[in-house]
């Protein structure tokens, strides 16, 4: 396929590279002027999409997505598919899909899980919302960039799945870090704590696959001075999106709100900026009950 790719940062760059390695003709644009091996660099977003069968975006937020959509949708050929892999608010995803559909385009919101490592290794999970025909067109490309894609429903459903998943992740990581900090103060060895919890009812991805305690469980950012695999500020972004969605849908999410407040404190008022989201463990280890 001929593919336009807009947003070649830490996630988009490797994703575009993997598509090019697979033999697709990829034209890419990024405001930072990034060059990606195998990807033809162009000077504008509009130039990236001309003649493209599929256009993929990986952008920071909903406002930027809407602005880019305004630029590129008029330049896309009828019948092309617009695949947005950004994590944005559900309202923006739905608005852009409606705009694309009105212009005779297919549209998929397909945010990802798996982080920079997943983007590099082609092992991302895609959560997709949009029409069945558009998803069928995009699916072979998602299979190159990831190991799994789930068609979650109509437009916005991919974003809904992503923010619900990451709300769970933020809540469970805080719980895991609190438990390790409590275990330390009770004199319980961290390895013994892991051995029990990882095979008991406290089992979770945060404990078993991404343990926040250095030297315990599989390798994780905790074993690399908490250099980010998934940065705390990105978790905060996703938690804020979850609470924005909860307010719009009139949904009670008290633990989601508490997790949002804790990550905001960590990132904005403490030393969490630029740290992995699992660095909540040393944070809690330093705190007392008061």
Three-class secondary structure assignment of the chain? CEEEEECCCCCHHHHHHHHHHCCCEEEEECCCCCCCCCCEECCCHHHHHCCCCEEEECCCCHHHHHHHHHHHHHHCCCCCEEEECCCCCHHHHHHHHHHHHHCCCEEEECCEECHHHHHHHCCEEEEEEECHHHHHHHHHHHHHHEEEEEEEECCCHHHHHHHHHHHHHHHHHHHHHHHHHHHHHCCCCHHHHHHHHCCCCCCCHHHHCCCCCCCCCCCCHHHHCCCCCCEHHHHHHHHHHHHHHHHHHCCCCHHHHHHHHHHHHHHHHCCCCCCEHHHHHHHHHHCCCC
- What is residue 156's predicted lDDT score, i.e. its pLDDT? 95
Q: Structural domain boundaries of the chain?
A: 2-153, 160-286
Q: Which of left, alpha, beta for 147 (phi over 0: left; psi -120 to 50: alpha)?
A: alpha
Q: Which pair of structure tokens corresponds to residue 210? A: 């991404």
For residues 95 and 27, give the distance between their C-alpha atoms in angstroms, rounded to a whole number.
Answer: 25
Structure confidence at residue 116 (pLDDT): 86
2-153 placed in CATH 3.40.50.720: yes
Q: pLDDT (tens digit, 9 = 90+) per residue, 241-276?
A: 999 999 999 999 999 999 999 999 999 999 999 999
**Tokens in use for 159?**
């974003």
Active site residue 162: yes
Please report, in tens digits, the pLDDT of each residue of the chain (290 residues total): 999 999 999 999 999 999 999 999 999 999 998 899 999 999 999 999 999 999 999 999 999 999 999 999 999 999 999 999 999 999 999 999 999 999 999 999 999 988 888 999 999 999 999 999 999 999 999 999 999 999 999 999 999 999 999 999 999 999 999 999 999 999 999 999 999 999 999 999 999 999 999 999 999 999 999 999 899 999 999 999 999 999 999 999 999 999 999 999 999 999 999 999 999 999 999 999 87
- Whole-number pLDDT of residue 233: 96
What does the alpha-carbon distance between residue 31 and residue 8 come to, in Å, rounded to a whole number?
9
What fold is seen in the domain 160-286? 1.10.1040
160, 149 contact by CB (below 8 A): no
**pLDDT value at position 229?**
87
pTM value is 0.89
Nearest alpha-carbon partner for 163 in 237, 57, 62, 250: 237
What sign results for the dihedral spanned by CA atoms 203, 196, 206, 287? positive
Catalytic residue among 2, 162, 185, 227: 162
In the structure encoding, which two tokens stand for residue 277, read together?
């989201």
For residues 222 and 240, the answer to whether their CB atoms sit within 8 Å is no
Structure tokens that stand for 222 in this block: 């905790």
């Amino acid at each position: 396929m001929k593919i336009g790719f807009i947003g070649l940062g830490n996630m988009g760059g490797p994703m575009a590279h993997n598509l090019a390695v697979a033999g697709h003709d990829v034209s890419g644009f990024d405001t930072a002027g990034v060059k990606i091996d195998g990807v033809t660099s162009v000077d504008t977003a509009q130039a990236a999409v001309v003649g493209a069968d599929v256009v993929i975006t990986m952008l920071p937020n909903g406002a930027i997505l809407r602005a880019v959509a305004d630029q590129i949708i008029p330049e896309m050929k009828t019948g092309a598919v617009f695949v947005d892999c950004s994590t944005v608010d559900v309202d923006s995803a739905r608005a852009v899909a409606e705009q694309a559909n009105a212009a005779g385009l297919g549209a998929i919101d397909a945010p990802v899980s798996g982080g920079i490592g997943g983007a590099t290794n082609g092992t991302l999970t895609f959560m997709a919302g949009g029409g069945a025909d558009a998803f069928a067109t995009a699916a072979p490309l998602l299979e190159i960039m990831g190991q799994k894609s789930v068609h979650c429903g109509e437009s916005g459903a991919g974003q809904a799945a992503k923010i619900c998943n990451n709300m769970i992740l933020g809540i469970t990581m805080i719980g895991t870090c609190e438990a390790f900090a409590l275990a330390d103060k009770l004199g319980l060895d961290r390895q013994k704590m892991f051995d029990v919890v990882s095979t008991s009812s406290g089992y979770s991805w945060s404990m078993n696959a991404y343990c926040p305690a250095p030297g315990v469980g599989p390798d994780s950012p905790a074993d690399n001075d908490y250099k980010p695999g998934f940065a705390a500020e990105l978790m905060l972004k996703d938690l804020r999106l979850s609470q924005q969605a909860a307010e719009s849908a009139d949904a009670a999410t008290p633990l989601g709100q508490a997790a949002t407040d804790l990550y905001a404190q960590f990132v904005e008022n403490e030393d969490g900026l630029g740290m992995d989201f699992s660095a909540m463990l040393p944070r809690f280890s330093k705190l007392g009950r008061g």
